Chains A and B, each alone.
Chain A
Amino acid sequence: MARVVLNQVTKSFANQQVVKGINLLIPDGSFTVLVGPSGCGKSTTLRMIAGLESATGGEILIGDQTVNQLPPGKRDVAMVFQNYALYPTMNVYDNIAYGLRNRGTSKKECQVLVEEIAEIVGLTQYLKRKPSQLSGGQRQRVALARAMVKKPKVFLMDEPLSNLDAKLRNQMRVELTSLHKQLGSTFIYVTHDQVEAMTMGDQIVVMSEGNIMQVAAPLELYQEPDNLFVAQFIGSPAMNIVKDEENSAVVWGFRPEKAQLLAESAAPASSIEQRVLRGTVISREILGAESLCHVETEKGRIVVKVDTEISIQMGTHVQVIVDAANIYEFDRATGKRIGKGVGRVGQHALAGGMV
């Protein structure tokens, strides 16, 4: 177990800088998720920690040791790859035992360790099989077992669930989280899927174009985004962004689930501070219990999440009402959040106080 520290780490490929001097502290025992759109540098960052890519500049520490010059095998990390990267010519047992043998672990000890891990991930009856004879989920377990058996200080995972079907993915998500709790090791997990990031991570690192946009816990990321990028990247559907009429240097945003739709004629309750947008409903997507209403307003198209039971006709003129407490303001030029430290106006806890 160990923390991982990145100090001004950069990476360039043929004159193109893909990681632009990032600083990051990954606490010991945390489940840290690197998330961002493709090409944001998250996988490269992970591979630099693994030692599969060398950092162009900066310093990488695992525990208290600078590892820039250490080969991958000596960093005491284990990695689960997107395509599993199992050794196709070896059976499951040999796949798991390979790393142990390279360390000089005795045959007897190997057997004990492999069988123990196989039991945990439920592979005991498949030890003699070749990877080609396993299903996607089973291969994923072999990849996990291969990483776990080495008892590394840090687990690295590069989109490990993206090749599984939706059902298996949900199941593995839960299993990985409980595995993390069980092992207590540091997990660093790369994904482009914000649902995976939000549900699994206790610390989320949002990256874009080689920079870190924000590091925070899932709830904070959702509630208090630092900038426009994070505000729009986290949360589905994305936050609505609207130009401010009075101040052209500012844009403001609100989440689709934090707005209300009212009929054009209805008078909004004016006891609390609110903002109102007028527009026409142009389409509606039914997700199940909730629907997304697309409203064309004078300030652009806006999405509002409403209860599916509410019946709304296309072409209806409506008012979109947002409480001031749910409004975020951003600097238009830099995308930085304005007044984050102060908190949103009239931000309130659940009725009856904090839970």
Chain B
Amino acid sequence: MHKAVAAPELSGTSNQAAEVPIDWMERLRPYLYVAPAMLFFALFFFFPIGYVIYLSFFDWSLLNLEEMEWVGLGNFTALMAEEDFWQVLGNTLIYTVVTVGLGILLSFMLALWLNRKAKVYGIVQAAVFSPHIVSLVSIAMLWMWLMDPQYGLLNAILEMVGLPGYSWLSDTKSAMVSLILVSIWKGVGYNTLVFIAGMQSIPKDIYEAADLDHSPWWRTLTRITIPMLSPTMFFLLVINTVSSFQVFDTIYIMTQGGPVNSTNMLVFYIYEQGMDFYNGGAASAASVILLAMVGFLTWLHFRLMEKRVHYR
């Protein structure tokens, strides 16, 4: 940039300019400054991504790393041909859509309710947020007990009010619902807090102007609050989608992908392929597919929201 601006001026005095030696140190200096950071990124971000893509073109086993056979896109075509893999993809998609959709809706409503000054609301905010700071493993264990068909608290409550017990994690139909429930419960506090922060950054005088304009509450909500929260909503949508795609802990502890593969999702599938079946090729290929999907979804979010998101 600097050089481009200087060039026309120099052309008039080209004789002198030619004599000025190029100061290589001066040119290198900025690159040297950013080198440590770039090195860090290269080592811990770009290299692993490149390496997993490289690995996905080989048939290899974790048991014998000496023998790697180049198969090109073979790992991918094998995955595509497998019915289980399609089920895993479907599970991941359903889980993500429901978790993100319901989670954000619920958080938004909670935030609307909790965004007030009284002390009680602060206490409720803290309570709602608390699951976020607890380790997911502990949470999974806790919910396993809550959802135990015989000794669990949830069924005990259902029985108390005269309803039949629910099978929760042990039924192919209800296991997914249970996982989604836990995930929403865990995530809702963080989302609510981010929403509340977003709501508090909307200038008060805009609401006062709306009051003076005799705006009914629902129109204030749809015409002012929601549009002004669109950056917050967009941010939550992206991070929730990405984290839902990568769900692992709860599956590993609560269902192990079962029953009958009904809660098996991408990351757990990759783990299974690599660590249980030592099938490095399939695991790498599935990782690349996960990367591509998350990347595509993020890009799509940006494209879709570009025009609708309001940044000030």
Contact = CB atoms under 8 A, between A and B. Distances in A.
A83 B205 CA distance: 8
Interface in B36-77: none
B211 interface: yes
Contacts of A99: 212-214
B232 to A, nearest CB: 13
B223 interface: yes
Contacts of A103: 214
Interface centre among B208, B210, B211, B215 (most CB of A within 10 A): B208
B312 A102 contact: no
B211 A85 contact: no
Given A85-B205, A85-B206, A89-B223, A72 B211 contact: yes
B219 interface: yes
B203 interface: yes
B270 interface: no
B160 interface: no
Given A85-B203, A89-B228, A72 B223 contact: no
A61 to B, nearest CB: 18
B297 to A, nearest CB: 26
Given A73-B213, A90-B223, A52 B208 contact: yes
Interface stretch (A74-82, A110-118, A299-307): A74-82
Contacts of A88: 206, 228, 310, 312
Contacts of B81: none
Nearest to A78: B212
29 contacts: A50-B208, A50-B212, A51-B211, A51-B212, A52-B212, A71-B211, A71-B214, A72-B211, A72-B214, A79-B208, A81-B209, A83-B205, A85-B203, A85-B206, A85-B208, A86-B209, A87-B206, A87-B209, A88-B228, A88-B310, A89-B223, A89-B224, A89-B228, A102-B214, A102-B216, A102-B219, A132-B312, A146-B209, A150-B213
- Interface size on A, as a range, is 20 to 34
Interface in A129-149: 132, 146
A83 B214 CA distance: 20
Given A85-B206, A102-B213, 9 more contacts: A72-B211, A74-B214, A79-B208, A81-B209, A85-B205, A86-B209, A88-B312, A89-B228, A102-B215
A214 B130 CA distance: 56
A98 interface: yes
B304 to A, nearest CB: 17
Contacts of B224: 87, 89
A72 B228 contact: no
B212 to A, nearest CB: 5
A81 B211 contact: no
A85 B216 CA distance: 18
A89 B224 CA distance: 7
B216 A81 contact: no
Contacts of B205: 81-83, 85
Interface in A253-293: none
A39 B219 CA distance: 34
Contacts of B215: 73, 98, 102
B227 interface: yes
A270 B212 CA distance: 62
A73 B212 contact: yes
A78 B211 CA distance: 10
Interface string A26-68: 0000000000000000000000001110000000000000000
Q: Enumerate the 10 nearest inter-chain pairs by beta-carbon distance, A residue then B residue, closest first.
A: A73-B214, A99-B213, A89-B227, A85-B205, A85-B209, A72-B211, A102-B214, A72-B212, A81-B205, A89-B310
